[in-house]
Structure 1
Amino acid sequence: MESVLILLALALPIALGGLWLSVLVPADTLARTPLIWSHGALLGLVLVPQFLWLQNALGLTLSFTLPALVSTILILTASVILLRRTPISNRTQPALRALSKMTAAQKWLFMLLLILLIVRLALLGTEVFLRPLFPWDATMHWATKAKVWFEYRSIVPFTDNLSWLQAFGEGVFTDRHPNYPSTIPLLQVWMNLAAGEWNESLMNLPWLVCLAALGGAFYSQLRIAGVEPTLSMVFTYFLLSMPLINTHVALAGYADLFVGAAYCAALMALHNWVCGKQAWQRVLLILFALCLIRLKIEGYLWALLLAPGLIVALAPKHAVIRLAGIGILCVIGLVVFRQVAPESLHPFLQQFTPLSMKGLMGIIKSVFLHANWHLFAYLLPMVAALSLLLPLSVLKTYRGIATALFASVGAFLFLFLFTVFSLGSANFTGVGRLSIQLAPGLMFLCALLSNAILVRQVWPAKGTGHR
């Protein structure tokens, strides 16, 4: 019975998000099946914990039954809407048409990579299923709340150490980050409520679902962006085989994988909305920006830094207007971030320090030397350099997503080079975790540019002096 309920706890968020996206996304959308179920799974895994939060806000005891009932009602509502729609007839599935155009070698490579990814997910699943909660931050910052809230069946308050001492520990609890958003701990509570007991292995199964959903979302948005199936699968394999991302599934419990998936989903929706103007891509952009805010403190920053990309891509073609818009946005962003960031973070942000050479070396080692990202740190600069040979009209296509990522990488470098957070790169404790939040988005841009380079064949042909 426990296994059935655990599967139900995983199935409900996936069905909830997937079916409502089925209502939203047109039936003739390219790669629609992986698109709706992968994005739906990510959205559902963030949404269901909000049902638990609402349940607690209404003064009710946390339980599995009520959120499951609400999810079921919403699933049935979406199903009824879908069944009432007139089926589309005489239309060949775009995915089948694309696959039929592939050569035999491309089909074999596609299937080989797909099988390798399935095997990888299965092996990671055994790690999650058999290993108890292990990582340091998972036990010190996240599962502390999950354990207490599960035992009390209530979202009892967490405070800083001083407030906890002043209250003599009566009615309040403390950990290293009491002001972290509640979504990840509540997701673990959701799984344990389904199991009926505290289970440090089963409660981490959503991390496996998150990785699979990230892969499906990545592949489907590449297809919508015009990348052919085999190359899309190649880059999906590149992404899902990254060692540090895999480690955050095998040693589940951190929020960074979810933040990276949500940020990548928002970036992909931003790019494809700017290019294709599909209204549902705009909805995905908004939804995943909201997800970022509910996942981790850094999510506020990444959500905010999506805006420069939108300004550059959509604002009138006047540099002054764009710069003014970005400047005003930065001022507003700093004010908002200062308000939402926990008080414990303010001293770090206020203490500007000169360039930390130890922090710089830590970033270089983590990104270029350690076995965290395979050869991605070498691939991306090479692809970026080759992309400069593309016509300006082609490069303009990527200015929105490139601007957003440039702003985010800039914030990342500032944090680890010019604040006391440089200690987190010097000793490799923080730089890897934050890299996970940006790596999927950077891989998406790398895939887009690689496709453009291959399609345009930007290198000079033999015997010619031009493209």
Structure 2
Amino acid sequence: MTTASAIVVWLAPLVLGSGLWIALAGWPRRAGGFATAIGAGWIIGVLLCGLLMRGLAATALSAGFVRVGACAAMAGVAGWVGAWMLRSRGFAPTATARIAMARPAAVPMSNGGRLLAALLLAMLAWRAWLLVTDVVLHPVLPWDAWAVWAAKAKAWVLAGHAVPYVSFESWLPQMAADTRTGAAWNYPELLPWTLTWFAADAGWVEPWINTAWLGLWAGLLLAHYGQWRGFGLSRMHAIAGVYLLGSLPLLDAHVALGGYADLWVAAVMSLAGHAWLRWRTTRDHGQLAIVVGAAMLLPMLKLEGAIWSIVLGAAVVFGLLPGRMHGKRFLVGAVVAALALASCITLSVAWVAVARRYVQDSIVIDAAQIGQSLDAIANALWGQGNWNLLWFALPAALAWTYRRWSRSATTRRLLVLVVVPVLSIVGLFALTSAARYAQSYSAVNRLLLQLTPLLVSLLALVLWLPAEDQPADGVSPPDAAAA
């Protein structure tokens, strides 16, 4: 691996993802839009490079560096050029391209604000350096990630080509065939394919491959900064929110240890959730396309990603229904989600079998078990050091500022989007045999991590979203435009 090839490995996903993001979302009008395109673009781009590795280099992984790099560069540049050519016309005709209601001029930061922002960024930079030292000084640790996602990628890279994974029953009679098996043989493979992109030119060098989680961390923070600026938060508040998100201990642990898929699920879910919020406000078809694309990626990352895709699908259906239906929209969304779940069960989708193993096809109404599970969940949220003060601050902020945030349609929508999955997680661990995983803390924190970026975003909007509930990039809500 040379310096030039290392740069290409990082730059190709950035060009690809940011080009596609801007092609869908439209040319940014402000710096926050470019921050979102760069941060979110790298995350989406590196996952797309994983898909390209599967499509273009499965039989010869070493050729993927050139094939995937060239394809990513061409597609990304085409997206940038197309967005630039369409910038004056407004990409999505349904998004109000003309400013119907001018936003007040931005208030400059005071000297004290600049000093505080610089201090927060310096603390994040120091945290990033600590993460870098953790990543480069050790290989993948022997936890679940080593036996699930990293194992597949390493086997493929060392073999030079992709080898199909099958069940033990299928593998045993044909051990001489070019197949492999494992405990997680049927788990989604997008993350292993993504890791093969980092190994395409360098081979299997685990500290280098694990830098993908550093890129994910940086991209997630940059994307959130731009998204919060787009919703109208000030620079100071957006930077404070970035520090809140970037300093969460459990999130940082997943970056430092590497190899796990939960943080990737959290990032894609967050990008989809924020795009859904923008679509609800602007009716921009590009934002809706981002939601649909993210919903397609989630099941490819981890089995429970299919559940989050169903949640997003129900949220899109809810948003498509006319407002005059009021509460009936929730009922329709619930029916859509139930039909999607029934379809998954009928088609025997992989995540259904895993879910059945965890819950054992039963609802357990046991007061002692429910009490123990709720106590374990409460300890995970408020008694352990995984979340700093997030779970103290969020309920307090929701109660203290209720009269203000309840007037914000954006904040209310985000609240519903995260409350439904959180209550589902609590119900899963309290009312089924999966309670043993809550009481051993082996799963509850990881599932909550997948929603954490959206939860931090909810806290930021509750505390700091201006009363004028419209995006800061000049796109006004349809109702305001009509007025």
Q: Which interval holds the TM-score relative to the shorter structure?
A: 0.7 to 0.9
- Conserved 8 A contact 1:386-1:453: no
* Structure 1 residue 432: Cα displacement: 1.7
What amino acid is aligned across from residue 54 of structure 2 in structure 1? W
Match of 2:163 in 1: 156
Choose from 375, 379, 392 the match for 2:393.
379
CA distance in 1, matches of 2:257, 2:439: 22
- Conserved 8 A contact 2:213-2:258: yes
What amino acid is aligned across from residue 163 of structure 2 in structure 1? V
Match of 2:421 in 1: 408
- Conserved 8 A contact 1:158-1:175: yes
Change (3 A) 1:199 1:104: same
* Structure 1 residue 169: Cα displacement: 6.6
* Structure 1 residue 86: Cα displacement: 8.2
Match of 1:272 in 2: 278
Could you list the per-position Cα deviations for residues 84-142 of structure 1 after superposition, in whole angstroms to 9, with x for gaps in the alignment? 67899xxxxx9xx74x6222211221222122222222221221122111150111111
Could you list the per-position Cα deviations for residues 287-308 of structure 1 after superposition, in whole angstroms to 9, with x for gaps in the alignment? 2222212211111111211234
- Conserved 8 A contact 1:23-1:81: yes
Answering whether residue 362 of structure 2 is matched by residue 348 of structure 1, we say no
Could you list the per-position Cα deviations for residues 35-93 of structure 1 after superposition, in whole angstroms to 9, with x for gaps in the alignment? 11011011101100000111257x665632211221122234345546767899xxxxx
Q: Which moved more, 1:336-345 or 1:185-194?
A: 336-345
Match of 1:368 in 2: 382
| 1:52-451 aligned within 5 A | 52-55=53-56, 63=63, 64-78=65-79, 80-81=81-82, 98=106, 101-168=108-175, 170-195=177-202, 197-316=203-322, 317-319=324-326, 321-338=328-345, 339-342=348-351, 343-349=353-359, 350-355=361-366, 356=369, 357-390=371-404, 392=406, 394-451=407-464
SS at match of 1:297: coil
Match of 1:462 in 2: none
What amino acid is aligned across from residue 438 of structure 2 in structure 1? S
* Structure 1 residue 420: Cα displacement: 2.8
Match of 1:36 in 2: 37
What amino acid is aligned across from residue 74 of structure 1 in structure 2? A
Change (3 A) 1:41 1:178: same
* Structure 1 residue 254: Cα displacement: 0.1
What amino acid is aligned across from residue 140 of structure 1 in structure 2? A
- Conserved 8 A contact 2:60-2:160: no
Aligned residues: 446
What amino acid is aligned across from residue 451 of structure 1 in structure 2? W
Change (3 A) 1:169 1:254: farther
Match of 1:9 in 2: 9
Could you list the per-position Cα deviations for residues 190-211 of structure 1 after superposition, in whole angstroms to 9, with x for gaps in the alignment? 111221x221111111100000
CA distance in 2, matches of 1:215, 1:45: 16
SS at match of 2:331: helix
- Conserved 8 A contact 1:221-1:272: no
Give me the identity figure in percent.
26
CA distance in 1, matches of 2:280, 2:28: 21
Runs of 5+ in structure 1 lacking a partner?
Answer: 89-93, 457-467
What amino acid is aligned across from residue 351 of structure 1 in structure 2? S
What amino acid is aligned across from residue 11 of structure 2 in structure 1? A
What amino acid is aligned across from residue 53 of structure 2 in structure 1? L
SS at match of 2:200: helix
SS at match of 2:445: helix
CA distance in 1, matches of 2:72, 2:263: 24
CA distance in 2, matches of 1:455, 1:26: 23
Could you list the per-position Cα deviations for residues 443-462 of structure 1 after superposition, in whole angstroms to 9, with x for gaps in the alignment? 11111111148999xxxxxx
- Conserved 8 A contact 1:161-1:175: yes
Change (3 A) 1:314 1:110: farther
What amino acid is aligned across from residue 75 of structure 1 in structure 2? G
Could you list the per-position Cα deviations for residues 312-363 of structure 1 after superposition, in whole angstroms to 9, with x for gaps in the alignment? 5553332463143123212222124433234344333423333533332221
- Conserved 8 A contact 1:31-1:224: yes
Structure 1 length normalisation: TM-score?
Answer: 0.87
- Conserved 8 A contact 1:215-1:239: yes
- Conserved 8 A contact 1:55-1:62: no
SS at match of 2:115: helix
SS at match of 1:42: helix
* Structure 1 residue 250: Cα displacement: 0.5
- Conserved 8 A contact 1:416-1:425: yes
- Conserved 8 A contact 1:161-1:174: yes
With a CA cutoff of 8 Å and minimum separation of 6, indicate the structure with the bigger relative contact order: 2
- Conserved 8 A contact 1:130-1:201: yes
Change (3 A) 1:306 1:113: same
SS at match of 1:66: helix
SS at match of 2:374: helix
Could you list the per-position Cα deviations for residues 1-21 of structure 1 after superposition, in whole angstroms to 9, with x for gaps in the alignment? 434323321211012112333
- Conserved 8 A contact 2:275-2:288: yes
- Conserved 8 A contact 1:224-1:272: no
* Structure 1 residue 33: Cα displacement: 1.9
CA distance in 2, matches of 1:160, 1:169: 15
* Structure 1 residue 311: Cα displacement: 4.5
SS at match of 1:420: coil
Runs of 5+ in structure 2 lacking a partner?
Answer: 90-101, 470-483
Change (3 A) 1:454 1:169: farther
CA RMSD of aligned residues (A): 2.7
Structure 2 length normalisation: TM-score?
Answer: 0.85
CA distance in 2, matches of 1:85, 1:301: 36
